[in-house]
Structure formats: C-alpha cells, structure tokens
Amino acid sequence: MCRSADRLTYLLEGAWEELPAKGKQAFPAVGIRTDGGHSNVTCNGRSANNEEDVMKKIVAALAALAVSATVLIAPAQAQDKKYTIALIPGLTTDGFYITMRKGAQAAADALGVTLVFQGAPDFNPVTQVPVLDAVIAKKPDAILIAPTDKVQLVEPLRKANDAGIPVITVDTFIGSGVYQTGAGDADFPLAYIASDNVLGGEIAARALATAIGDKGKVYVSNVKPGISTTDQREEGFKKEMAKHTGITVLETQFNDDDANKAASQLQAVFARNPDLVGVFGANLFSALGAANGVKQAGQTGTVKVVAFDAPTSIVDNINTGLVDVAIAQHPAEIGYYGVVSAYAHLTGHSIPVTIGTGFTIMNKSNIADPNISKYLYSE
C-alpha cells in the first residue's frame, strides 16, 4: 500500500465532488480527465493494468490513508513554506510539453507553489544537461524532468539527488524506469509519471491491424534507440502484432526525429515492398514524415498511417486522410500528477513510485467530438 498525501486525492474520481468549483474549471482547460479514465498506479513494483479495476486500485493506493477532505481544499497559503518546483521538459516547443506545463501550472496554482519551466529547444541530452545543471544551481525544492536519454541523464540527475533535490521523471525515464528498489544505479528518482508506452504501442498495433483488415506488411518508423518512451512503444507494437498471424512486421526504420528522413524511408520501404499496407509512427515526426512519404508515393488511403501524439494539426491530417489514426496521450495529467506528487513528498508523505496516464484514440469518425478533441495538445 502506498501512503498518500491528503492533496493527492485531487486525483481521485471519488474526490471530484470535494474539489472547489474554481478547481474543477481548470481541468477541461488543460485536458485532464475527470471521468475515471485509464490511469494506473504502481506501488512497490505492482501494477494495476485491468482497466475495469484501475480506479478502485488508484483509490486504494492513493486515498486509503488520506487525512481528511478538509485539508484537501484548505488554502495553499496555510502552508508555512513556499515551495518551488522545476519542470524540465524534453523540449520547450513541442505541443505535448506545452500541454504538460499547463497541467503542472494548474496543480501549482491549486497548491500555492511556484512552478519554474525551463528546457532546451530540441530533444537532445547534449542541450538538456546544461539546462539541468543551471536548474540544480538554483536549488529548487523538487525537479520534474523528462530525460532525453535513459543512460546519459543518469549521472547529471544524480547530482540533483546528491544535492538533496528530489527528482521525479515525467514522460520519459532513466535506467529501467523502476525506482526506489535499492538496486541499480538509476533507481534514485522518487517516481515515474507517464503514459504506459508499452500499452500505447499495443493500442496502436490493434488500431493498425483493424485498419488493414488484419493482414499485410507493416513497419515502425521510430526516432532512435535509447529513448525510453519510443523504445517501449515499439516493444508494445511488436508484442501485439505477434498475435496477428496475418501481419508481417518489417525492420524498424530509425529517422533521428527527422520527418524528411522518415518520408524518404517510407518510399524506400515501399519500393522494396510494394505490398506494404501500414506504418506506425512512434512519435509525431516519425508519423507525419511517413505519412508524407505515403502521399509522395501516391498511396494515401492504401498504406494506413497510425500516429502517436496529437497536436491540433492532427485534425487536418486525419480529415484529409494523411493520417488514419492518432493515439493521443494525456500530458496535462502527467504535469498535474507530477506537481501534486512532488508537493506530497515535500509535505512529508510517501507517493506511488509509478503513476500511469491514459490514451484517447482519434480518427475521422470521432475527431469532431468535443469529448475527444479536448485531448488535442496545445500549440
């Protein structure tokens, strides 16, 4: 059982009615789910993955030892200390991280803490590490970070930990992503808060299998090995596709996050395999690059494209047929849960070591539905 902070019950379906009206209004604006959704929590290495039982297990994990709902809605200024929490995104210009920041800010405003958002303009450990060093020098009370490499960010983050600054990873992780076990060199972060990317890959595979009639050749367009999230999405995709005996998964194409390269790779794969029927883009640039390659090859509608992530531009991509399906993450939830978890730790409570957020599947039949489109990322 994970002991939780009183204020963590903001996250719970059962506590929704306890939230003041002003707090409720913040949720739709940043795309935070208020209907129970598919989040999951891991405590002491155990994961709740059964979708029907997820909310019950979240309640058990996060709320069993909450002190009182009265404390939940008490003014944040009642706290003696004003906390500063830093959020370091994978990059600052991506809609995913912009939306994550909005969720984090909503939590910061509710809790009366100061949120500092600082990052690099590209997803690269070479540019992220100097930002991290600068943040550590400012001595925030906690750091939320989306590490850009699961190996290269271990030692830089250890500096924060050694300086007494709690670290929580969001979206991506270091090491294996399994923390607080006492084993390995990268288990020191307090928690990992993110989409379940293996599950996301499985969802993408099922969507693509349905789109292609459960037969034919497909491949994964990916960034590069070593990025925790996209590695896991590919893993989940291939795991699910192994169940579909009529589908052949070709060799993964790595594009270095270059959409033009992804487009060229699609055309090359199609030239070698004219019976290609589908591609899964493990991130947005991979998907849109591959989709443009499909268009350039004159195969739009024939070669199906499933994209991971959902900026507002995906609406036109779906409506014009450039992309067939998009898997939207819920980054606002990641940011929100991150700040609340950091605050819980700073106020003397234990927190879950893993919190997973859900997905929303978007296609031409539902993209106009406000209950779906609210999960589009901010620009």
Indicate the pLDDT class of residue 228, thresholds 50, 70 and 90.
confident
Q: Worst-scoring range by mean pLDDT, 46-55, 129-138, 339-348?
A: 46-55
DSSP assignments along 261-314, one per residue:
HHHHHHHHHHHH-TTEEEEEESSHHHHHHHHHHHHHTT-BTTBEEEEE--BTTH
**What's the pLDDT at 79?**
55
Question: Which parts of 31-112 fold into alpha helices (H)?
Answer: 54-63, 69-72, 95-111
Q: What is the chain's mean pLDDT, rounded? A: 83
Q: What is the mean pLDDT of residues 359-374?
A: 95
Q: How far is CA 17 from the centre of its chain?
A: 26
319: helix, coil or strand? helix
Nearest to 279 by CA among 263, 290, 265, 268: 290
pLDDT over 90, % of the chain: 73
377: helix, coil or strand? strand
Give the best-scoring range by mean pLDDT among 4-18, 67-81, 247-261: 247-261
Question: Which parts of 182-224 fold into alpha helices (H)?
Answer: 197-211
Nearest to 160 by CA among 149, 177, 147, 176: 147
Distance in angstroms (rounded) separating the CA atoms of residues 369 and 379: 19
Sign of the Cα pseudo-torsion (265, 271, 273, 277, in order): positive
The one-character DSSP state at 205 is: H
240: helix, coil or strand? helix
Indicate the pLDDT class of residue 379, thresholds 50, 70 and 90.
confident
What's the burial of 125, exposed, middle or buried (CB within 10 Å: 0-12/13-18/19+)?
middle
**What's the pLDDT at 80?**
67
Q: What is the mean pLDDT of residues 248-276?
A: 96
Over 70: is that where the pLDDT of 363 sits? Answer: yes
The one-character DSSP state at 200 is: H
**What's the pLDDT at 33?**
44
Over 80: is that where the pLDDT of 325 sits? Answer: yes
Please report the domains of the chain, with CATH numbers, ordered by start residue: 6-189+330-358 (3.40.50.2300), 197-329 (3.40.50.2300)
Has this prediction a pTM greater than 0.85?
no
Distance in angstroms (rounded) separating the CA atoms of residues 40 and 303: 34
Indicate the pLDDT class of residue 55, thresholds 50, 70 and 90.
very low
Over 60: is that where the pLDDT of 93 sits? Answer: yes
**What's the pLDDT at 318?**
95
